Amino acid sequence: MNNILNDSLAQLIGGLALAVVLAGWAWVRRTRRAAPRPQERPTLPRQVRRYTLLDTRGDDGQPQHLISTLPAGTVVTCTAGGGPERFELTDAVLPDGSFAAEPLHRFQ
């Protein structure tokens, strides 16, 4: 009887180790599934906005406009007044319904 227990002890320990590993793997998998995933913010489609480039005039004497889907706070470079100028797009609404694009170099 003692000989049978000694011969099967290695198989018994191996089987127990396999059972512990499988139980640990199942527990990890179950807890990862149950963990709430961070909620992603829905991305809204960008709005097309008409920006008036402040203190600029076109060939016809009218203010220059820029149509863009870029959000407020974005800095863009436009050719105005004979050379490239940088403008910051804002959320400020002008009386004509367009948004203001402020020139950056004039305020630095």
Where in the sequence is the domain holding 90, given as residue range(s)?
Answer: 49-107
77 shares a domain with 100: yes
Q: Looking at residue 37, what is its pLDDT?
A: 63
Q: Looking at residue 51, what is its pLDDT?
A: 94
84 shares a domain with 57: yes
Number of domains in the chain: 2
Identify residue 61 by its one-letter amino acid code. G
32 shares a domain with 61: no
Q: Looking at residue 47, what is its pLDDT?
A: 86
Backbone angles phi, psi at 30, to 5 degrees: -70, -40
24 shares a domain with 6: yes
> How many residues are there in the chain?
108
CB-CB contact of 78 with 64 (8 Å) = yes
Q: Looking at residue 39, what is its pLDDT?
A: 67
pTM: 0.55
100 shares a domain with 64: yes
103 shares a domain with 58: yes
How many Å apart are CA 71 and CA 85, to the nearest integer? 19
How many Å apart are CA 6 and CA 69, to the nearest integer? 77
